[in-house]
Amino acid sequence: MNKLEVLKEMYPEDVYGYSSALTEKEVAILQNLRHELETRVRPILIDSYENAELPREEILGAFAAARIMDHPDLFEGREDKWKAREIYNTFLYLELARFDPSVATFYTVHGGLGYNTILIGGSEEQKEKYATKVRTMTGQTCFALTEPDHGSDIAGGLATTAEFKNGEWVLNGEKRWIGGAKTADFIPVFARDVADNKIKCFMVAKGSEGLSVENVEHKIALRIVNNGHITLKDVKVKDEDRLVNINGFGDVAKIFVFTRVDVAHIAMGTAAGAFNAALRLTTDREQFERKIASFQLVQEKLATMQANVAACIAYSARVAELQEEGTAKMFNSSLAKLHNAKRMRETVALAREVCGGNGITYETEVARFFTDAEAIYTYEGTHEVNSLIVGRELTGIGAFL
């Protein structure tokens, strides 16, 4: 098969063909990723989800085997040696999230939030030290920003402190909802410098004295992703492990320009996964001696789901182009996340609806997409926060306070 035939088979929901912008080598990497996920992760996926266990080695093993971040074919003709093309990134997230939103979320914490923190905040030496391990999957990272009492208001409310004493930094405070924190090898921790009140970032190694991480229990969504509650009590960090280019929340916001789009991509992929699962069930299962998909009311819902997914892909693909051009800004990221998350939420609900009682079982897959969507709708900026960012751009009036 030629490239377009392969893509039509891989992503039938991409009805307007945005995936045609992928190169043949990028498509081959995505095909290999699918094979690795199906081989390594699929057999343990349902049990891992139900038991709220992160199959870290299997997931990282699939990523590493497919070389999704460091394959030489991703960098042919590119000056940027650290990041592949943004359109590839778009369909990488589509591939991951339509397989499983928790797996996609684990990746975006590691290869999105954590990785971009290092690339944007680090010196060349710090990139070589930390980003190389992230992209080769030889070291896992995460992103420790939010706190027990500060999420949406973290810019002004961040309470974790950093004090420079005797040639090193001493961190104190708590972080919460930190995906992958329990198993991370090194954690970018954001803290407020008591000397100048600016937010800075520190790479804290796993097992550091005074660092403790406990999992947040009893979640209904993203159960595979172990969200951590981090406590820092006089944790010492060498000055060489402070990311030198993060010196205020404005620098943190630069990270979100990229990572908020990644979550828009995850919402896109989650909607696509739910839609495809619903389409499979309704075209296979019979009721009243007819395929469920033969009923007009069901077809209307399937058409709505397809329209939502197509619109989400369009948003993601266009913002990816802007990112590649270097013209993307927070407005683009927030609008894409706002739109895609809202359309995702409708799509997973319709998918569960047309699957009836089977839609609440893991075997049909719809249930995982349905519950995970609730977390995706909230993280990386709630619907309300992203609405206010868009509203500020439209009116010139900030309405946060």
Question: 16 Cβ partners below 8 Å, 6+ apart?
Answer: 310, 313, 314
Q: Which of 29-38, 40-49, 149-158, 300-309 has the lowest mean pLDDT?
A: 149-158
Q: Does position 400 have pLDDT exceeding 90, yes or no?
A: no
161 and 132 part of one domain: no
DSSP for 142-177, please give it.
--B--BTTBSTTHHHH---EEEEETTEEEEEEEEEE
36 and 119 part of one domain: yes
Residue 141: inside a domain: no
CB atoms under 10 Å from CB of 245, counted, come to 13
Work out the percent of the chain whose per-residue pLDDT is above 90: 88
- Domain final residue pick, 209, 230, 247: 247
Residue 71: inside a domain: yes
CATH number of the structural domain spanning residue 368: 1.20.140.10
* Domain total in the chain: 3
Model confidence at 355, pLDDT cuts 50, 70, 90, reads very high
Distance CA 199, CA 195 (A): 11
Residue 145: inside a domain: no
CA 177 to chain centre: 14
Boundaries of domain holding 216: 154-247
pLDDT at residue 381 in the model: 83
pLDDT at residue 286 in the model: 75
Model confidence at 368, pLDDT cuts 50, 70, 90, reads very high
User: What are 287's two structure tokens?
Assistant: 């009721």
Q: Does position 154 have pLDDT exceeding 90, yes or no?
A: no
Q: What is the mean pLDDT of the chain?
A: 95
CA 351 to chain centre: 22
242 and 257 part of one domain: no
337 and 291 part of one domain: yes
Query: What separation in angstroms does the CA of 2 have from each of 6, 20, 22, 245, 282?
Result: 6, 11, 13, 45, 30
Q: Which of 8-22, 139-153, 269-283 has the lowest mean pLDDT?
A: 139-153
Residue 330: inside a domain: yes
Average pLDDT over residues 76-96: 96
232 and 296 part of one domain: no
254 and 390 part of one domain: yes
Helix (H, G, I), strand (E, B) or coil at 51: coil
pLDDT at residue 258 in the model: 83
Pair 306, 15: CB distance under 8 Å: yes
- Domain final residue pick, 136, 167, 198: 136
pLDDT at residue 357 in the model: 87
Residue 272: inside a domain: yes
Pair 136, 143: CB distance under 8 Å: no
pLDDT per residue over 301-347, tens digit each?
A: 999 999 999 999 999 999 999 999 998 888 999 999 999 999 999 99
Model confidence at 10, pLDDT cuts 50, 70, 90, reads very high
Residue 217 DSSP label: P
CA 267 to chain centre: 9
Q: pTM of this prediction?
A: 0.94
Q: Does position 64 have pLDDT exceeding 90, yes or no?
A: yes
Helix (H) / strand (E) containing 213? strand 211-215
Residue 148: inside a domain: no
257 and 332 part of one domain: yes
